[in-house]
Amino acid sequence: KAGVTQTPRYLIKTRGQQVTLSCSPISGHRSVSWYQQTPGQGLQFLFEYFSETQRNKGNFPGRFSGRQFSNSRSEMNVSTLELGDSALYLCASSSPQRGLAGAPGEQFFGPGTRLTVL
């Protein structure tokens, strides 16, 4: 199976602009989660989508949003970019873990999109 793919791999934007990042999950995976990785804050959960619905959200401002399409592909959008939004944005997909009700499935991570805000 092909892994999780993220596009683009690198982006450079200026303050005030907006950006859209894309994530294609592993075939058959219906859950897509997004994470932000920065040197100062580490890895932080942004949100999770399952069957086109956001079912969990981290502690980020409303400038960060996302959506999921019927084919499970997901996009995240950041509006009014700030310098502090410079980060590696990681996407992960998973499917439910069989036999353990409520247990999280293994998450498979993509290579990330490195966003630089100037």
Partner 1 sequence: AQSVTQLDSHVSVSEGTPVLLRCNYSSSYSPSLFWYVQHPNKGLQLLLKYTSAATLVKGINGFEAEFKKSETSFHLTKPSAHMSDAAEYFCVVSGGGGYNKLIFGAGTRLAVHP
- State the first-to-last Cα distance of the chain, in angstroms, to the nearest integer: 37
* Alpha-carbon span 3 to 98, nearest angstrom: 20
8 near partner 1, rule: CB under 8 A: no
Compose the 53-92 pattern: x for residues touching partner 1 by CB under 8 A, - for all others: --xx-x-------------------------------x-x
* Alpha-carbon span 67 to 10, nearest angstrom: 21
110 near partner 1, rule: CB under 8 A: yes
Residues that bind partner 1 (CB under 8 A): 4, 31, 33, 35, 42-45, 48, 55-56, 58, 90, 92, 94, 97, 100-112
